[in-house]
Copies of this chain bind each other. A is one copy, B any other.
């Protein structure tokens, strides 16, 4: 059933930087995908992408620096938007209005209004619109999802996640490498990159399907990491004295309608090992990514002789009985693509949903709500940590929306009927 080859989907790729080019390479390996158009604002990137497709697929896609030209083509069914963060929604809205299904790479929104624009464009057109949140398809995240759906953690109470990634070199050389992240870090102060952790958490908490995010407040530390890095590595250049507005560590607290709390951390400009800082806590147990452990009431061992008898148990103990069925099938099939295989899965989730006419497992409401956290956190920080309301992008539909329709890529509690 899974990884089935359907009718060929004709794709346009918009945004061919590091990420876009990498994902294009993954797509060119798929037998049921045709790359019909490629677009980037830099001509050299367009040329490079056309050559890659020619080499890998034997066809030469149309190439353009103007995404409107790509959207005007009628030999393209769907587009994948992998540009800089602040243009994702503008392009996605235009694509929906042009009659294309849309997949957006991850990133945060710059205004609430553009999130609403995306929702209204999807509603008017009825076309699929999905954020490509690859971490929803991470092996660990899916195993935690499976354990939650099987009830091991009881009723969920609190979740945490973070984007803990030392990006000083990437950001510091951003002007050289034409990387949008540098300009965002220079100008903005907020939770700029929430979705890698927030996406999986929202799926655990059934956000937009019986639950929703109500409000958040955010706080930023001072900004020192980039300044010190620039002074050391770009000394003598004009950019060395650039002031970065983004605090080194940005913390965001979110309250959900069903009473759960979420804490997010953005932490990209200090030296430290990579982590997504996952933590899920319920009335029956807890999972912590940073020590790769769980404690599950009644299953995990205890030490009754100690004043605090609960003991961490390796998360790996649960790999075999609770590994996600999709991942088990994927490992049999053979992992491919970047980031330990999850990049491939999230692309397949979009492609197969469009091919089969089923709802995408991450829909426009998820996309809008997750992206909105970025601009809301900026507002909260600008107002000294004031709580700000998270809009209900479903216009009240979250109250009655049940789990997504069954599908192998579903991120709810029905997927495993299929395995």
Q: Chain A: residues with CB nearer than 8 A to chain B?
A: 155, 157-158, 165-166, 215, 217, 219-222, 224-225, 228, 247-249, 251, 253, 255, 258-261, 263, 267, 270-274, 281-286, 288, 290-291, 295, 297, 308, 310-312, 384-387
Q: How far is the CA of A228 from the CA of B215 in the complex (A)?
A: 27
Are A272 and B310 in contact, CB atoms less than 8 angstroms apart?
A: yes
Q: How far is the CA of A403 from the CA of B15 in the complex (A)?
A: 54
Are A295 and B310 in contact, CB atoms less than 8 angstroms apart?
A: no
* B-chain residues with CB within 8 Å of residue A259 when the two chains form the complex: 221-222, 247
A273 is contacted by which of B270, B274, B284, B310 (Cβ under 8 Å)? B310
Are B308 and A286 in contact, CB atoms less than 8 angstroms apart?
A: no
A248 is contacted by which of B157, B215, B267 (Cβ under 8 Å)? B157
A-B contact pairs, 19 of them (CB 8 A): A157-B222, A158-B221, A215-B385, A217-B219, A217-B253, A217-B385, A219-B255, A220-B261, A221-B260, A222-B258, A222-B260, A251-B253, A253-B385, A263-B263, A270-B281, A273-B308, A273-B310, A274-B310, A385-B387
Are A217 and B281 in contact, CB atoms less than 8 angstroms apart?
A: no
Known contacts A219-B261, A273-B310, A385-B215; is-contact A288 B286 (Cβ 8 Å): no
Q: How far is the CA of A220 from the CA of B387 in the complex (A)?
A: 13
Q: How far is the CA of A14 from the CA of B271 in the complex (A)?
A: 47
Number of copies: 2
User: Residue on B with the closest CB to A274?
Assistant: B308
A295 is contacted by which of B165, B272, B286 (Cβ under 8 Å)? B272
Q: How far is the CA of A409 from the CA of B308 in the complex (A)?
A: 28
Q: How far is the CA of A284 from the CA of B253 in the complex (A)?
A: 26
* B-chain residues with CB within 8 Å of residue A385 when the two chains form the complex: 215, 217, 253, 255, 387
Are B222 and A308 in contact, CB atoms less than 8 angstroms apart?
A: no
6 closest Cβ pairs, A-B complex: A222-B259, A274-B308, A385-B387, A158-B249, A221-B261, A273-B310
* B-chain residues with CB within 8 Å of residue A158 when the two chains form the complex: 221, 248-249, 267
Minimum Cβ distance to chain B for residue A202 (Å): 16
Minimum Cβ distance to chain B for residue A154 (Å): 8
Q: How far is the CA of A285 from the CA of B386 in the complex (A)?
A: 30
* B-chain residues with CB within 8 Å of residue A272 when the two chains form the complex: 281, 285-286, 295, 310
A283 is contacted by which of B228, B258, B281, B308 (Cβ under 8 Å)? B228
Q: How far is the CA of A261 from the CA of B191 in the complex (A)?
A: 14
User: Residue on B with the closest CB to A227?
Assistant: B283
Are A224 and B271 in contact, CB atoms less than 8 angstroms apart?
A: no
A310 is contacted by which of B228, B271, B283, B387 (Cβ under 8 Å)? B271
